[in-house]
Amino acid sequence: MRIIPVGIIVLGSLTVSASDLVRISTSGPIVSAGYDFRVRCSVPRQSENRWLEAGIEAYRSSGVQLEGEYAPVTHEFWFHLVPCDAGRAYCWLKRNDSKEAIAYAPVRVVGCPE
């Protein structure tokens, strides 16, 4: 019997789905302190969708009003000069039917003084 080692190398973006309502994709799970980081939120076109917020916990957030079924599916947000104490990235969808959905992605900041 032969044993074949199997490994996965992750390069590029990280995509996480919280539900059918919102998905998050980032420029990767690791960012160097003081550099830029991309958060991409994907939301299906639905008439109830009204607000989308993206951010990095303990750092900064940004939002955009959605025009329901006429809104774009993908929204990209850039966060500049990410600090050492930044937390997870998130996409938070708010709807006019009182439903909300949030998706998280891990963010590890490297190059910080210990």
Per-residue pLDDT of the chain (114 residues; tens, 9 = 90+): 444 433 333 334 555 555 789 999 999 999 999 999 999 999 999 999 999 999 999 999 999 999 999 999 999 999 999 999 999 999 999 999 999 999 999 999 999 997
pLDDT at 101: 96
The single-letter code of the amino acid at 96 is N
Cβ-based burial of 103 (10 A; exposed 0-12, middle 13-18, buried ≥19): buried
Distance from C-alpha of 6 to C-alpha of 16, rounded to nearest angstrom: 23
The single-letter code of the amino acid at 75 is H
pLDDT at 24: 97
Q: Which of 56, 53, 28, 29 is nearest to 41 (CA)?
A: 53
Cα 63 from chain centre: 13
**CB neighbours of residue 5 within 10 Å:** 4
pLDDT at 20: 87
Fold annotation for 14-108: Immunoglobulin-like (2.60.40)
- What does pTM read for this prediction? 0.83
Distance from C-alpha of 66 to C-alpha of 94, rounded to nearest angstrom: 9
Give φ, ψ of 76 to 5 degrees: -115, 135
